[in-house]
Structure 1
Amino acid sequence: MTKYARDEFDRVPETSTRQGVHRAVAASRRRSLAPILAAGCVALAIGLVAFLILPKLGFSAGQAAAVTAGGSASASASSSPSATSTVSPSPTPTSPEPAGTEAAAAPSASPSTTPSATAAAVDKTQPVTIYNATTTAGLATRVGGTVTSDGWVLGETGNWGGVPQQTSVIFYSGVAQKDNAEALGALLGVDTLVDSAEFNMPLVVVLGPGYQ
């Protein structure tokens, strides 16, 4: 009890709404927490969607995590926006290669020196003697025309008076005339070549039976 008498200020209506400074402060704090709570609920919902529903739709775990991270970032940005600056990495300077590197790396292609097969020289100035060892008249003269047309020098032509031959033969005198005999045999179709010193002529063609 107080020793002072009651006055008009002591009479307070029971139905009056009492408001004080402390109530206003509490209300303002509750209002400031509302956006943060809303952002948290949004992030939680996005996380549940990403980890429970997206894998069933075919998204991988990495894509779901990216969706969750993107949703969380957007939620935090909406609650407390802050100015972010992106710094692009500076390109790393490449040191120029010294001159002559490519030339040193690529080996120089040296031309291959493969010995070319040189055909043996055929001396068509050597006289060719032709004998007919068949019963066909004028065969030596006809074959002599073929030899002359090919550039050979035609020697003596006539009938064969030696040992009867079973086939056509080209006699050549010494190794030096072997290439000439082979070229002459290819021209006339004679395969039999005989090295003989019996004749005093370098090349002798004897046309045997069956030669056409």
Structure 2
Amino acid sequence: MASFPKDLFDDLPKDLVRVGAHRAPKKRGGGWIGFAWAALATGVLVVGGLFTLSLIDPSVRFEIPGLPAPAESVAAPTEEPTPTALPLTDPATIDPARLITITVLNGTPVAGQQAVAGDALAAAGWPVGTTTTASTSDVEKTTVYYSNPADEDIARGLVGALGVGEIRESTAFLGAPVTIVLGADYTPAP
């Protein structure tokens, strides 16, 4: 084993508590300061994120316990607007440049309703693209959704062809210009 010559650092006084600058004793409570800063940063990020979310989507509301909820304005019921488009009753008159495809979704607990409705509409000449089940099976009313106001006439014609339903303009179904969500009120024609 190698031995090194002694120098002045080998003869330290016995009453010296520290052995090196990097081995200073930890301060009491020093960990709480870091924890407090982390908690503060987390709180600021969460509150900022929730505030941003409430600005993006007005349907998201956060109520603070102990504070009164803001008064909601209740809109007066409005009458059904008068139709702006007449129902298109002959699907053969649909201009091919409109690129209309119809998606049929089954929102009923009865399996296969989407195929029955889709086949009936296709047999009548309607451009049915996709038939599948909806994300829920407890839809009560059949609804025909259209994303472009120019397609309202087709939506009204489909309600007439199905014999049931209501129309609604919505951008919820962007995969097809017209989407039918079958509800429990739909009964196939015999």
Short-chain TM bin:
0.3 to 0.5
Could you state the TM-score of these two structures normalised by the residue count of structure 1? Answer: 0.41
Q: Which gives a bigger RCO, structure 1 or 2 (Cα 8 Å, sep 6+)?
A: 2
Higher share in helix:
1
Could you state the TM-score of these two structures normalised by the residue count of structure 2? Answer: 0.45
- Larger Rg belongs to: 1
